[in-house]
Amino acid sequence: MIYMVPAIVLVIPLYSVFSQLGLRNTLLGLLIVYPATTVPVALYMLQGYFRGLPPELEEAGLMDGLGRFGVIRKITLPLSLPALASVALYVFMIAWNEFLFAFMFLDDPGIFTLARGVVALDSSEVPRQNLMAGAVVATVPILMIFLWFERFLVQGLTAGSVKG
Amino acid sequence: MGQIELRQVRKAFGAVEVIKGVDLTIADNEFVIFVGPSGCGKSTLLRLISGLEEATDGAIVIDGEDVTGKPPAERELSMVFQSYALYPHKTVRENMGFALTVARMPKAEIAARVDRAADVLKLEALLDRRPKALSGGQRQRVAIGRAIVREPKAFLFDEPLSNLDAALRVEMRLEIAKLHRRLDATMVYVTHDQVEAMTLADKIVVLQAGRIEQVGAPIDLYMRPANLFVAQFIGSPKMNVADCQPAEGGLAFANGQAMSLPAADAAARKIGIRPEHINLAPPEESDVTGVIDVIEQLGSDTFVYVEVDKVGLFTVRLVGHVEMTEGEPAGLRFDRDHIHLFGADDRALAP
Ligand SMILES: Nc1ncnc2c1ncn2[C@@H]1O[C@H](COP(=O)(O)OP(=O)(O)O)[C@@H](O)[C@H]1O
Ligand SMILES: [Mg+2]
């Protein structure tokens, strides 16, 4: 739901609240803002996947002697790995690339996020090509994470469980 | 051991009552089959026994212990789902052994039990495959294997064969019959397939709209249905039913024809006669006369549909291949030993 309003609408009230709470120029402030904006999106994406899992699978788990939590741990979560991996990657990307909040809240160059830091280099002394190189380097971590996560993004993990 | 008792069990989803007070005793080692039209509550009743649904009222007792509020894990029952519900992220071996792993049984014991079940179901060659690499019939076998390995108090089957093609269904039906004899276990089985019900069951429970209509051995239900619903539900093609009135020495039909039946109850309002208990006869020997509407040749049987004016359509089953012509008149003679009479309330009258 938070993505139905432009982020700039949120920045202004958050700016004044965080200023009063002393959270404005801190990483803790961003640590609060980023989950608050991304968790709803993540839940929204995951609930569709959880609902799509055949209920018989969980019932089979109950019949096999698991309790409610056992079913979630041993059946629902393993089957949801691809969805969990892609949602995690997506949410990480949102936070990693986030610029607006970092730009508005952070003043101290010592705690700049990477996106914010690259922009800070934009001045007459730093050559353009170095700036572009910075932007490219900023994408590398995401690339690495994606390559590692790819193993979880197997297609059709639930294939063959129900029906013929 | 595996004796199951339902006492005045009720189940409502919101305001809708789906199971309306069911009393039933399932004896140890008995093969009980629930049949009934779609939506009558067969699956719900099975799920109440399994613990996947909680009863709104009444009690469920397994081996003398009241398990009404207990979760499935504490009931020691196995269920085979219509859709198989195999764990896709586990191999066949892991699927079959999963319940034992959950119960923390030693690995060697699990392997031994899985191997024994795989031997019974001819699954040895498939143990290391994943469910998606199996055919429909093989998946069904694995699902049954998963149920066997646990050595439960009772097996619950919810239309286990309805996703298989006709040939495989016959094969698996025989296999389930053999399995029941071999395991000597209590089995509760839901189906809407007549043949499965008649061939497998020790006891059939006919359900309609959340109530039990009749309980009995398959042949008893066929020979002595308690009411019109059971009479028409058991048997295929279904029993012919016509309105009738008691008359001097027999019954009279709406078209003015009459049949002799000295023992007929004066309360009779409907007559039921199965297709296999009607014969074609010359007009002077027949009970009603009509016109042949449609003929179906099955090779082993011939079904003749005879339209009797003002009385209705009768299905006649003749053994073997019989040559006949559509549109010709036909006389029907009812076998006096197999006539069913029903009163105004649709209850069967004593013959
Ligand atoms: N979870 C549920 N919520 C609401 N209604 C249900 C639920 N499960 C079953 N029903 C209703 O209960 C009735 C009986 O269902 P079911 O036992 O599945 O029938 P059957 O297996 O005999 O075809 C149906 O009318 C169905 O719509
Ligand atoms: Mg059903």
Q: Hey, what are B158's tokens?
A: 């919810």
> Nearest by CB to A163, which of B52, B72, B83?
B83
Q: What is the mean pLDDT of residues B62-78?
A: 94
pLDDT tens-digit profile of B177-231?
Answer: 999 999 889 999 999 888 899 999 999 999 999 999 999 999 999 999 999 999 9
- pLDDT classification of A164: cutoffs 50, 70, 90: very low
Q: Which helix (H) or strand (E) holds B231?
A: helix B228-233
Domain ranges of chain B: 4-232, 237-349
pLDDT tens-digit profile of B250-277?
Answer: 999 999 999 999 888 889 999 999 999 9
Higher pLDDT, B46 or B248: B46
Taking CB atoms and an 8 Å limit, are A164 and B73 in contact across chains? no
Query: Which of B44, B87, B126 to mutate: most A Cβ within 10 Å?
Result: B87
In short, whether B48's Cβ falls inside 6 Å of ligand 1 is no
Q: What domains sit in chain A, N to C, each tagged with a CATH number?
A: 2-158 (1.10.3720.10)
Task: Name the nearest CA neighbour of B172 among B196, B190, B205.
Answer: B196
Distances (CA, A) of A45 to A35, A153, B84: 15, 15, 28
In short, whether B191's Cβ falls inside 6 Å of ligand 1 is no
What backbone torsions phi and psi does residue B165 show, to the nearest 5 degrees? -75, 170
Task: State the pLDDT at residue B318.
Answer: 95
Architecture per CATH, domain B4-232, reads as: 3-Layer(aba) Sandwich (3.40)
Task: Name the nearest CA neighbour of A26 among A86, A85, A96, A101.
Answer: A101
Please give the single-letter amino acid code of residue B196: E
Taking CB atoms and an 8 Å limit, are B81 and A59 in contact across chains? yes
pLDDT tens-digit profile of B314-331?
Answer: 999 999 999 899 999 999
Taking CB atoms and an 8 Å limit, are A161 and B131 in contact across chains? yes
The domain defined by B237-349 folds into OB fold (Dihydrolipoamide Acetyltransferase, E2P) (2.40.50)
pTM of the model: 0.86
Q: How far apart are CA B103 and CA B114, in angstroms?
A: 14
Taking CB atoms and an 8 Å limit, are A63 and B132 in contact across chains? no
Q: CA triplet A11, A15, A20: central angle to 5 degrees?
A: 155
Residue identifier of the C-alpha nearest atom 9 of ligand 1: B44
Strands B203-208 and B31-35: parallel
> Nearest by CB to A160, which of B52, B72, B130?
B130
Distances (CA, A) of B350 to B123, B224, B251: 51, 9, 15
pLDDT tens-digit profile of B14-46?
Answer: 999 999 999 999 999 999 999 999 999 999 999
Judge whether B70 is closer than 8 Å to chain A, CB to CB. no
Q: How far apart are CA A26 and CA B80, in angstroms?
A: 57
Q: How far apart are CA A68 and CA A127, in angstroms?
A: 59
- Could you tell me how many CB contacts below 8 A there are between chain A and chain B? 90
Q: How many other C-beta atoms lie within 10 A of the C-beta of residue A70?
A: 15
